Structure 1
Amino acid sequence: MAPKPKNQVALAPSTPKELKDTLWKAADKLRGSMDASQYKDVVLGLVFLKYVSDAFEERREAIRAELDGEAETYIAETLEDVDEYLGNGVFWVAPEARWSYIADHAKGIAASATDDAKSAGDLIDAAMRILATDNASLEGTLPTMYGRDNVDQRRLGELVDLFNSARFTGAGASKARDLLGEVYEYFLDKFAKAEGKRGGEFYTPPVLVRTLVEILEPHHGRVYDPCCGSGGMFVQAEKFLARHNEDPTNIAVYGQELNERTWRLAKMNLAIHGIDSQGLGSRWGDTFARDIHPDITADFVLANPPFNIKDWARSEDDARWKYGVPPVRNANYAWMQHIISKLKVQGEAAVVMANGTMSSSAGGEDDIRRAMLDDDVVSCVLAMPSNLFRSVSIPVCVWFFSKDKSPGSRGSNDRRNQVLFIDASEMGYMIDRVERTLSDQDIKLIANTFRAWRGRESAIGGYSDIPGFCKSATFTDITTAGRVLTPGRYVGLPETAHDSETIGDRIARLKKDLTEALDESSQLDKIVRKQLEAIHQ
C-alpha cells in the first residue's frame, strides 16, 4: 500500500475557507497537464463524486440509527434498499462507486505493477458510469475522462487522497451538502476567473444574480432560465428560500443550455444543492433551434444570455417574435422576446443585457423596443456598474418584464404605462484592480426601491423618485426621450443646488436609512412575536 503523504494531517482543514483554499491549490496541480476547460470538468466531477458519496454515507448512518435494536439481518437488508435513499433525496451509490472504495483501491493500485491493475482514473470513470446507470436523473451527465492519457494519474491519485483526508463535515452545524455546495461554487468562480472571457459563458457573478433574485422574490412557482450556464440562477433562487426559512421545493426549475460541458456542470451543481435537475432536460441543446420546454410558462425568468450573438438559429416566421423579427447578426432582442413569451400573465422576468440594447436602432431593434413598450411589458431598467464581470470591464444593464403591472399579487401599486429606471452605475466597490462587487446594503437598496415602487408588503417605506438614482417615468416621458431606455436620461443628476450632498453621499445616507429601518422592523417583529406568545399562554 502506498504510504500516506507526510503532510496529510495538515491538509485536513477545519474551516470552510481553509478547505476551499487547500483543495483549490491541490486541484491546481492538474492544470499543466490539460487545457483549462477539461481541467475544470475533472476537478468539479471529483467534488460531485465526493458529495454524493458523503450524502449517501450520511443517510446510511441515519438509517442505522433509526433501526437501532432491530435484527441485524433486517438492518443489513434495509441499508441496501435503494428506496430508503432515493425517497430521501439521496442518490443511490453502489459499493464500487463509493468514495471509500475508490480511495482505498487507488492507494493499493498506485503501488501495484500488475498488468490488470486499474488506474485511479479508471476507478473514477467506472464509478461515474455506475452512478449514472443507477440514478436516472444523472444519465448522460457525469464526466468520464479520468482514465485518459492526458490526465496525470499520479497527481489525480494525490488529489483523491487529499479529498479523502479533508473534513467535509463537522464544520459546526454545516452538513456535507452545504459545505460541498460552497466548495463547488468557489471552484466555479475560480475557474471562471482562470478562463477569462470564456468563463463568463457559464458563470454569472453571484452578487449580480442575488440582486435579481432579491428584486423578483421567487417564493413559489416555476423558475426558468433559457441559457442556464452552470445553474447559478437556480441556486440563488433556492438560497432565497433558505434565507426566508421556506421549503426549497416551493419552486420548480426549468432550463436549457447549449454547451455540453456547461450543461453537465449545471446538472451536478443542482444535485449538490439538492435541487431537482430534471427540468434541464435529458441533454444540452440550442434554445432558438429547439426549445425543449415549448409548453412551459414560468412565474419567474432569470437569465444572463450571451451578448450580441452573431451566429444563431434564426427563423423569420418564429411565433416568438411577437414584437418584430430580430436582426440576423444579433440575438439580443431574440432572447428578450423568447423570455417574454415564457411568462405567465402574473409572471416576472429579469434579463441581464448589454448596455447597447437600451438605445440601439440597428437592424430594427428600435422598432422592437417600441413595440415592447407599446404592449407595456417593460417594468424596469436597471443600470449596473462596470467590472462586475472580472473578464469584461464594460457595464451591463438588467431589463425587467411583466405582462401585468396592475394592482395584484405582485404589488399593490398600479404601474401600468410606467417604467422604473434605476441608475446603480456608481454603486459598489472594487475587490481588486479589475473586479467590482456590491455590498449587502447596495443590494437591499436596489431591491427595496423596486419593491416599494411596485407596492409589495416586503418593501421598507414607500416609493419616491430620487434625483440621480431612480425615476418612475411615464410613457409620455419615454416617448419624449425617443424611447431610449438609458436610466441616466431619466433619473438626471442628484440635487446639489441647495446642498453639498454628492450622489455617493446620498446613496450612503439612503443605505444607512434603510439599514436603520430594517433594524427597526426586526425589533418590531420580535415584539409582535412576544405578544403572540403571551396570548397563547
Structure 2
Amino acid sequence: MTIEKTLFAAADKMRGSMDPGEYKHVALGLLFLRYISIAFQRKYDELLPEGLDVAEDVDEYMADGIFWVPEAARWRTLSAQSKDPKIGVKVDDAMRAIEADNEQLKGALPKVFGREALGGHVVTGLIDLFSNIEFEGTRKDFDLIGRIYEYFISEFASNEGKRGGDFHTPKPVVELIVDMIEPLRGRMYEPCCGSGSFMVHSERFLDHHAGRREDLAIYGQELNHTTYGLARMNLAIRGIVARIEWNDQGTLLRDAFPDEKFDFAMANPPFNISDWGGGILAEDRRWTFGTPPVGNANFAWMQHIYDKLGSTGIAGVVMANGSMSSMSSGEGDIRRAMVEGGAVDAMVALPGQLFYGTQIPACVWILAKDKSNGIAKDAKLRDRRGEVLFIDARKMGALVAGSRKQKELSQEEVVRIAAAYHAWRGEPDAGSYEDEPGFCKAASLEDITKHNYVLTPGRYVGAGAAEEDGEPFEEKFDRLTAELRAQFAEGRRLEQEIETQLEGLL
C-alpha cells in the first residue's frame, strides 16, 4: 500500500462522525504544520552554530522562503504534548501563532482542532500518524506532499458527492488543460480556484519545461472560505507565490481583479448553477456575445473568463456537455456569436465518469483572444480564424484500479490530445497536423454553420476506421448466423422448460 493510501486509511478511521468536508482540513492542516516545522528546524539547526541570535532572526528564514514557526507551534513541542487532553486547543493556538508571524498565511490555517466534536483522541492520533512521515524540509519533499494532498482531496471529494466535485478537478483533466495552453510566462488567472490544483500543475509544467517561476504571476479567486484556506496552504507548502482573493459574493458578482487582464486562464466552474445573480447582472459589460440565461451560469463563466484575457490570451474551461449543444434561453445564440467572433479555438469531449460525485459528462473549451496571431510574418502560430479544432476523447480513459465507476485519462492520452492541438496551431516542433477520423477534425466555419453551431466533437470527427480481424466476410456471416440460430434454439428450450415448471405448480 502506498504512503498516501496508508495515511488516508489510518486517518479515515479516526474521522468518526465529523463531516468529511471539514475533516480533510484537519488532516491536511496538520500535514502542513508538520512540513513547515521540519523545514524550519532544518534551517534553525543550520544557523545555530552562528549563534542563538542568528538562529532566532526571522529575516534569515524569510530570505529562504521558509515560514517562521514560534517555539510553541513547533512540531516537536506539540508532539511531546500529544497526549494532553487539551492538545486540540494547543494546535489551534499554534495555527494562530504561525499566522501572526507570517503575513502570507493570515486566515489560511484551520483552527478547528479544539472543537469538542472532534475529540482529543483524533488530534493525538493524527499527530502520532504524521510524526512517522520522514521529511527533509526541502523542495525534495514537494512531490510526496503533493501526492498526499491530491490523494486526500480526491478521496474526500469522492465521498462528499456533489460538494466535493465542486472544488476538485481530477488531476488528468488539470494536466490536460495545462499542457494545452502551456502557461510558461506572463499572468495566469483562475476565477474559481478551489484547492489550487491548476496553479500547482502550472508550476510543475514550468519545472518540466525549464521555465522560471518568477516569469509566471498567478492570480485566483474563491468563494468558499475553507477551500480558500486549503488552496493557500496547498500553494504555500510548495513555496508557490500567488495572489488569491476571497469574498462571500463570488467571482461573477464581485470580481476581485476588475481592471486586470491575463495571458492564461484555467477554470472548472460549478456546472449549471442557477443562483448566480443573473438578474442583477443582466446589463453587465462582460456579455460580449449575449446575455446569459438567468437560470444557468455556464455562459456567464465563459464570457467572464474571455473578458479577462489580454489581447493574445488563451483559456481552458471545463464545462458540462450541455454547453456544446443547448439551444434554450438564448444559449445557442451566444454559442454562435462566440464561434463567429473567433472566441472558440478548440473543443474536447471528455470520457464519462471522470469527475467525483457527479455523472454529468464534461468537455473542455479552449478560448483564444487572437486566433490570427496578429497575422505577423514572424508569428510562430498560424492564422486559425474561420476554423475550430474538435477532439473526441470519449472513448479514452480507463477505470481506476479498485473502482467500478471512476475513470481517469492516462498520461499517454493526455499527451496525445495536447499534441494534436499544438500541431493544429502550427507550433514549432509540434509536427504537421492531419485530421484523424474518430479522433480529431479541423472544422471550417461553414461546417459548423451546417450543424447549427452545435459544438459536439462527435458530429465533426466522424467514425474511426473499423478494426480488421482478418476473417473473410462469407465465413464471418456463416459463423454469426449459426450462433444466432443456436441462441434462438436455446431460447425456445428455455421457454418450454419454464412452461413445464409452471404446469407443475398447478
Counterparts of 1:120 and 1:456, CA distance in 2: 57
> Displacement of 1:363 after TM fit?
0.8
Question: CA offsets, 1:230-283, max 9 Å, x none?
Answer: 111111111111222332332121111111111111111111122113x11265
Matches within 5 A, 1:490-505: 490-496=460-466, 500=468
Matches within 5 A, 1:472-491: 472-491=442-461
Counterparts of 1:367 and 1:228, CA distance in 2: 29
TM-score when normalising by structure 1: 0.83
1:79 aligns with 2:55: yes
Q: Which residue of 2 aligns with 1:507?
A: none
Q: Which residue of 1 aligns with 2:492?
A: none
Q: Secondary structure at the match of 1:106?
A: coil
Q: Secondary structure at the match of 1:33?
A: coil
Counterparts of 2:418 and 2:144, CA distance in 1: 28
Matches within 5 A, 1:188-227: 188-227=153-192
Q: 1:364 aligns with which of 310, 330, 333?
A: 330
- The answer to whether the Cα contact below 8 Å between 2:228 and 2:246 also exists between their aligned partners in 1 is no
1:299 aligns with 2:267: no
Q: Secondary structure at the match of 1:348?
A: strand
Matches within 5 A, 1:443-522: 443-459=414-430, 461-496=431-466, 500=468
- The answer to whether the Cα contact below 8 Å between 1:253 and 1:276 also exists between their aligned partners in 2 is yes
Question: CA offsets, 1:8-67, max 9 Å, x none?
Answer: xxxxxxxxx643223212211332131111212211111111122122123323445xxx
Q: Which residue of 1 aligns with 2:5?
A: 21
Counterparts of 1:226 and 1:92, CA distance in 2: 30
Any gaps of 5 or more consecutive residues in structure 1? 1-16, 65-71, 111-118, 503-537
Any gaps of 5 or more consecutive residues in structure 2? 471-506
- Pick closer, same or farther for the CA change 1:349–1:288 going to 2, 3 Å: same
- Pick closer, same or farther for the CA change 1:50–1:204 going to 2, 3 Å: same
Q: 1:125 aligns with which of 83, 92, 104?
A: 92
Counterparts of 1:453 and 1:61, CA distance in 2: 54
Counterparts of 1:410 and 1:338, CA distance in 2: 27
Q: Which residue of 2 aligns with 1:387?
A: 353
- Pick closer, same or farther for the CA change 1:61–1:410 going to 2, 3 Å: farther
Matches within 5 A, 1:226-241: 226-241=191-206
Counterparts of 2:364 and 2:225, CA distance in 1: 27
Counterparts of 1:487 and 1:374, CA distance in 2: 17
Matches within 5 A, 1:188-337: 188-277=153-242, 279-281=243-245, 285-314=249-278, 315-337=281-303
Paired residue type of 2:409: L
- The answer to whether the Cα contact below 8 Å between 2:222 and 2:246 also exists between their aligned partners in 1 is no
1:414 aligns with 2:383: yes
Q: Which residue of 1 aligns with 2:148?
A: 183
Identity of aligned residues (%): 47
> Displacement of 1:428 after TM fit?
1.7
Q: Secondary structure at the match of 1:21?
A: helix
Q: Secondary structure at the match of 2:423?
A: helix
Counterparts of 1:194 and 1:410, CA distance in 2: 48
Q: Secondary structure at the match of 1:256?
A: strand
Q: Secondary structure at the match of 2:16?
A: helix
Paired residue type of 2:127: V
Q: 1:135 aligns with which of 80, 86, 102?
A: 102
Counterparts of 1:411 and 1:378, CA distance in 2: 19
> Displacement of 1:102 after TM fit?
0.9
> Displacement of 1:399 after TM fit?
0.5
- The answer to whether the Cα contact below 8 Å between 2:381 and 2:425 also exists between their aligned partners in 1 is yes
- The answer to whether the Cα contact below 8 Å between 2:223 and 2:247 also exists between their aligned partners in 1 is no
1:146 aligns with 2:110: no
- The answer to whether the Cα contact below 8 Å between 1:225 and 1:254 also exists between their aligned partners in 2 is yes
Q: 1:427 aligns with which of 390, 396, 399?
A: 396
The alignment of Structure 1 onto Structure 2 pairs a total of residues equal to: 463
- The answer to whether the Cα contact below 8 Å between 1:299 and 1:343 also exists between their aligned partners in 2 is yes
Q: Secondary structure at the match of 2:82?
A: helix
TM-score when normalising by structure 2: 0.87
- The answer to whether the Cα contact below 8 Å between 1:216 and 1:300 also exists between their aligned partners in 2 is yes
When the two chains are superposed, the root-mean-square deviation of aligned CA atoms in Å is 2.0
Counterparts of 2:172 and 2:35, CA distance in 1: 25
Matches within 5 A, 1:334-353: 334-353=300-319
Question: CA offsets, 1:193-219, max 9 Å, x none?
Answer: 121222101110001110111111111
Paired residue type of 1:44: L
Counterparts of 1:410 and 1:186, CA distance in 2: 41
> Displacement of 1:458 after TM fit?
4.5
- The answer to whether the Cα contact below 8 Å between 2:195 and 2:227 also exists between their aligned partners in 1 is yes
1:437 aligns with 2:401: no
Max radius of gyration: which structure?
2
Counterparts of 1:344 and 1:60, CA distance in 2: 44
Q: Which residue of 2 aligns with 1:115?
A: none
Q: Secondary structure at the match of 1:413?
A: coil
Q: Secondary structure at the match of 1:90?
A: coil
Paired residue type of 2:271: F
> Displacement of 1:179 after TM fit?
2.2
> Displacement of 1:370 after TM fit?
1.4
> Displacement of 1:384 after TM fit?
0.7
Matches within 5 A, 1:392-407: 392-407=358-373
Q: Which residue of 2 aligns with 1:42?
A: 26
